[in-house]
Amino acid sequence: MTTINVLDETGHSGQLAEDMHTFLAQAAPYVEKVTQLRLPHTVTVKLLTVPGLATNYSAFIRRQVERDIAHAELTESERKKAAALPTAAGWAARLTWAVDVSVLVTNTVGWPSTLIVPQALAHQGLLSDADGLCEFLVRVLAEQAQVEACRGVLVPGASWPPVQESQDPVSQLSAGHASWAAREAIPLVLGKPVTDTRRQRSWTYRRQAAFVFVATRGQNGRLLQRATSFVDQAMAAIGPEGFNALWATHDLVPTLDELRHPDRWLQRLPS
């Protein structure tokens, strides 16, 4: 039995926290059904201010870096770069908080939680788009199920050495799987397909999105589409049970080339 824990740490988002709790509790069984993954014993969502997001994310990156370099032999230059990552993560969260609508983190024992800034939901138009908000929350559940399945080893990813998302197959796979799960689960939860609503996004969002677009060379949308297509084809070929083996058998994680060509990944699977 999964417990849903939505914490309002903004001090003024109590109703949103209650609404999220109600929907997450309703959607959880359907996410487990379509993914055939178990959710954590407790699904935790934290509603934060922008400074709260920066503080929590910086602390998470610090824990990840300490874990990742614990047994590594680093040069003095590498140690300085690693030590600077938590502060840089906090500043990045402040710069792109309206675009990065949720951030998946884990605590010291690997239990996941999702950090959400309610203001970001507003700037993205999700607070006035009920179907879009529901789809977003299903992705939150799917990501936490991934953490449970891999025991936090794959998802969230390592922080050291730093890797750009365009070169990180695990982060792409995670996003694609969550997107696929939302597409499959939402009609079951809502009793209808998600309507493709054109949301009105704020100037703050558009400004930050332009910065992210330049920084990522406009690849994010294409990478998500490719990863979602990979999961779709893999699920059609081997089903959720076969697909889910990769969360525990990390050698089965697709390469960047296999994300582009799912048939090559399928040929590599043990018979």
Q: Which residue from 23, 43, 26, 35 is spatially nearest to 182, judged by alpha carbons?
A: 35
For 103-151, write each residue's pLDDT tens digit. 999 998 889 999 999 999 999 999 999 999 999 999 999 999 999 999 9
Please state, for a pLDDT cut of 70, what percent of the chain lies above it.
99
pLDDT above 90 for 217:
no
C-beta separation of 98 from 52 below 8 A? no
Distance CA 81, CA 55 (A): 19
For 12-60, write each residue's pLDDT tens digit. 999 999 999 999 999 999 999 999 999 999 999 999 999 999 999 999 9
Q: 240-266: buried (b, 16+ CB within 10 Å) or exposed (e) per residue?
A: beebbebbeeeebbbeeebbeebeebe
Q: What is the pTM of this model?
A: 0.95
Predicted local confidence at residue 193, as pLDDT = 77
C-beta separation of 9 from 47 below 8 A? yes
pLDDT (average), residues 253-267: 96
C-beta separation of 182 from 135 below 8 A? yes
Predicted local confidence at residue 78, as pLDDT = 96
Predicted local confidence at residue 132, as pLDDT = 92
Which residue's structure tokens are 């709260």? 52
Distance CA 105, CA 144 (A): 9
For 66-117, write each residue's pLDDT tens digit. 999 999 999 999 999 999 999 999 999 999 999 988 999 999 888 999 999 9
Average pLDDT, the chain: 94
C-beta separation of 235 from 154 below 8 A? no
